[in-house]
Structure 1
Amino acid sequence: MTYEETLEYLYTRLPMYQRIGKKAYKADLTNTIKLMEQLNNPHKKFKSIHIAGTNGKGTSAHGIAAILQTAGYKVGLYTSPHLKNFTERIKINGIEVFEDFVIDFVDRIRSQIEDIQPSFFEITVAMAFDYFQREQVDIAVIETGLGGRLDSTNVITPEVCLITNIGYDHMDMLGDTLDKIAAEKAGIIKKHVPVVIGETLPETEPVFKQIAENNQATLIKAGNSTLKPQGMVADYFLKNLGGIESVTKELVRLGWNVTSNHITAGIENVNDLTGLKGRLQILEKDPLVIADVSHNVDGLKLLFTQVKEICNGKLHLVFGTVKDKDLKSIFTIIPKGAEIYWTQSAVPRALPVEELAIQGVMHGIEGDCFKQVNDAIRNAKEKVQPDDMILVTGSTFVVAEVDGL
């Protein structure tokens, strides 16, 4: 198969959460374990760091990877979903997995895929772990997909775990209370493996303490970071620096050679080192166009607060989301006075723009509708005045469709 045919096979044959939602979610590790056995258990042949949480997983993963790269290590990085290209999910020292490897991997285990019938996410996890083992990385930074306890990545035994924070997201799969969601995320805690908690709440702290105690795992509360990166950095990234630093300090305690200079330089250069995209990313300066993948209430609240400080004129908000989000809460935090351009991505999970607009009107927010993300951006550019800002957000899939990202 060609690379394009291989991707088509993966996308169409295997259930993909990003496209069809809950039906693709396998709350079970059986398939992953079977795949690992067929591949001679590559996940047991490299060291790793495991990251779960509601918000900040991706930025934390990229930040830690950048620090370790700066310290001279060969670092694998597995994150999801991708924005533009499938290969973004699997990187070593910021370089995306080669297309030839993707083709070869699927060809090598196609019979096992036919037999086991894994989900899209399960097969990409297996691909990443096989790649990291074959390329002999020093360490891999692994971001969970959904939850933690039953996430496909949860077959590794890492050096350190990090749980960034807990918020209301994916409640149809993880539970409808913070303590239930925390219990799912805390499922990545392993026997005798230290775990850093980036943020605790009254509802979640007892859960973390109990599960850590059950696993005889040292629990470390992240403190406030003293780092002050130069340039425009998302506030939610700054919020995660405490957890990133705490993980790094724990690695040092375990014998990894990482200095304060490595930490500073890694964070300062995280985008260049790891290819991090879609986090308060400036796409154009005249007019100012920013794209950000924030997609739930907690993440959007931080984003909108920062945007108010950045924007000297009117905010032009290009916004689309998916079907399972808490729209009522999201509408309450959309900045007052913003010009709204409702839109949708092309994935089946996308909330149709007409429905989004109707829901908006019901909550006192009116906007124009655009079925194509870039049409919405073009329309905003026609109306923008000096000092105005265009912000594209609400869904990873909306940001993924922006031209020039």
Structure 2
Amino acid sequence: MTYLEMLEYIYKERPSGKITLGLERIVELCELLGNPQCSFRSVHVTGTNGKGSVTKLLSNLLIEHGFQTGGYYSPHLSSFKERILVNEEFVPDELYLECFREVQKFAEQMDQKGETHKPSFFEFTTAMAFCIFERMKVRTSAIEVGLGGRFDATNVLKSDVAVIVTVGYDHMHILGDTLEKIAFEKAGIIKDSIPTVCGETKPGPVEVIKKVCEEKKSELHLLNRDFIYENTEMKLNENRFDFRGQREFKRLELTLNGEHQFLNAAVALEAFLLFADRMGFEVKEEAVRKALKKTTHPGRFEVVGERPRYIFDGAHNASAATSLRKAINTYFKGEKLAGLVGILDDKDKAGVLSQIAPLFERLIVTRPVSHRAVNPQETYEIAKRYNDSVSFEPDPIKALETLKEEGWPTIIITGSLYLVGYVRDYVLDGKLEPEWAIAG
């Protein structure tokens, strides 16, 4: 079996179109594998927005302090390999296949018990990640929740620190239709007697998280109460801030762009300092500075090229779109911009487009490469409410080439991460990863 054949099995044979809530399948699958998730220490990260950036920051902080570190992310941009990293690098195909075969063996045993017992795409890949981390003798890890928290497959972890970055409206058909309900689902990653770090400040969700922490005897560290970022300076790819929390640092530098990344970095730092305390290792300021400066997160206000200059940003919900709008107004205020946008059907299309569509002199709506985007025409109709210079082209590459031919100096590709990853591949490599033919 090849790597691509492995992917075809995971995408085609594992149910991903519907979500069956519950941890029973992942618990059983991990038990059959010998509980590989118990072989390393972890920081567990959830949040409506920011959890990917926080996980990247934590991973680099651990790496710079000398730990063999696993990073688990979802979704990926271009390659499935981006989901499971060791020291922020791809793992060998041979190891993927080795752990795949191990997980497949036990998953197919479980399949025999019926459809509701069949491990899903995310449960299968989470088990693979834990297996890979065990085989590679990972000592520490930063693990990003896939969706929610309470019933997410990653919640089989016995983590050392729980992180809730933000609470906003997304996946409401699964997590609930109020911020309080969504906060409760995210607070499901809080474990007994471990600290929790929270970057959310809205009173409703904060009260829910406080209550869960009290019940779990978890020490809660709140943004603007127990830790803070201040004295911010913003310049593209060179952003600086001060941090006060478990320790104090002055003029830390972030390559990550956008005001929201200061919040993400502060949350990551506070969580890292608490993790270091639980692990019993010394935090080195030079390593902290290096980790924050080196951290990048592809597809999150990522700037590529000069003319045209491309900005890739997965603003997939209203909160992320607000952050994108603020970043554009900070770094590119007054410039004429073209936009290429595609949004999944289960997202708040009006919430995203009302924030970003008015920013563009020219806008093309397209279709993300996903089975969750079958009605891009609806996206186009909504976009017309907010922009008079919008057109529709279902093929993302044709849409991009149109904007290039029109001579726009700056093109922003945004909306779904599936769109961002697809177009980013084409821009960087002049071709598309063969995985797209399988995943799409």
Please indicate the TM-score interval, normalised by the length of the shorter structure: over 0.9
Q: Paired residue for 1:251?
A: 275
Q: Paired residue for 2:384?
A: 361
The Cα shift of 1:229 comes to 2.1
Give me the TM-score of the superposition, normalised by structure 2: 0.86
Q: Which amino acid aligns with 1:96?
A: F
> Does residue 262 in structure 1 map to residue 303 in structure 2?
no
SS of the equivalent of 2:186 reads: helix
Q: Distance in 2 between matches of 1:71 and 1:281?
A: 26
Q: RMSD of aligned C-alpha atoms?
A: 1.7
> Does residue 328 in structure 1 map to residue 350 in structure 2?
yes
> Does residue 178 in structure 1 map to residue 176 in structure 2?
no
Q: Paired residue for 1:11?
A: 11
Can you give the 5+ residue segments of structure 2 that lack an aligned partner in the other structure?
A: 111-117, 230-241, 243-250, 429-440
- Which of 315, 318, 333 aligns to 1:294? It is 315
- Which of 317, 323, 327 aligns to 1:306? It is 327
Shift in CA distance, 337/209, structure 1 to aligned 2, threshold 3 Å: closer
The Cα shift of 1:236 comes to 2.3
> Does residue 95 in structure 1 map to residue 89 in structure 2?
yes
Equivalent positions of 1:1-400 (< 5 A) are: 1-16=1-16, 20=17, 23=18, 25-116=19-110, 117-222=118-223, 223-225=227-229, 226=242, 227-229=251-253, 233-254=257-278, 255-271=280-296, 276-311=297-332, 312-336=334-358, 338=360, 339-362=362-385, 365-385=388-408, 388-400=409-421
Shift in CA distance, 228/197, structure 1 to aligned 2, threshold 3 Å: same
The Cα shift of 1:228 comes to 4.3
Identical amino acids, percent of aligned pairs: 33
Q: Which amino acid aligns with 1:29?
A: L
Q: Distance in 1 between matches of 2:270 and 2:159?
A: 15
SS of the equivalent of 2:63 reads: helix
Shift in CA distance, 350/195, structure 1 to aligned 2, threshold 3 Å: same
Q: Paired residue for 2:435?
A: none
The Cα shift of 1:283 comes to 2.1
Q: Distance in 1 between matches of 2:359 and 2:15?
A: 41
Residue deviations 1:124-159 (CA, integer Å, cap 9, x gap): 100111111121112011000000000000011111
Q: Which amino acid aligns with 2:289?
A: T
SS of the equivalent of 2:345 reads: coil
Q: Distance in 2 between matches of 1:270 and 1:231?
A: 7
Q: Which amino acid aligns with 1:262?
A: A
Q: Are the counterparts in 1 of residues 363 and 387 from structure 2 also a CA contact under 8 Å?
A: no
Give me the TM-score of the superposition, normalised by structure 1: 0.93
Q: Distance in 1 between matches of 2:255 and 2:107?
A: 45
Q: Distance in 2 between matches of 1:120 and 1:6?
A: 12
Q: Distance in 2 between matches of 1:361 and 1:210?
A: 44
The Cα shift of 1:257 comes to 2.4
Shift in CA distance, 363/317, structure 1 to aligned 2, threshold 3 Å: closer
Q: Which amino acid aligns with 1:105?
A: C
The Cα shift of 1:266 comes to 0.2
The Cα shift of 1:248 comes to 1.8
Q: Are the counterparts in 2 of residues 360 and 366 from structure 1 also a CA contact under 8 Å?
A: no
Q: Are the counterparts in 2 of residues 322 and 395 from structure 1 also a CA contact under 8 Å?
A: yes
Q: Are the counterparts in 2 of residues 353 and 370 from structure 1 also a CA contact under 8 Å?
A: no
Q: Are the counterparts in 2 of residues 320 and 351 from structure 1 also a CA contact under 8 Å?
A: no
Q: Distance in 1 between matches of 2:24 and 2:372?
A: 26
Q: Distance in 2 between matches of 1:230 and 1:154?
A: 30
Q: How many residues align?
A: 393
SS of the equivalent of 1:334 reads: helix
Q: Distance in 2 between matches of 1:328 and 1:345?
A: 17
The Cα shift of 1:73 comes to 1.1
Q: Which amino acid aligns with 1:308?
A: N
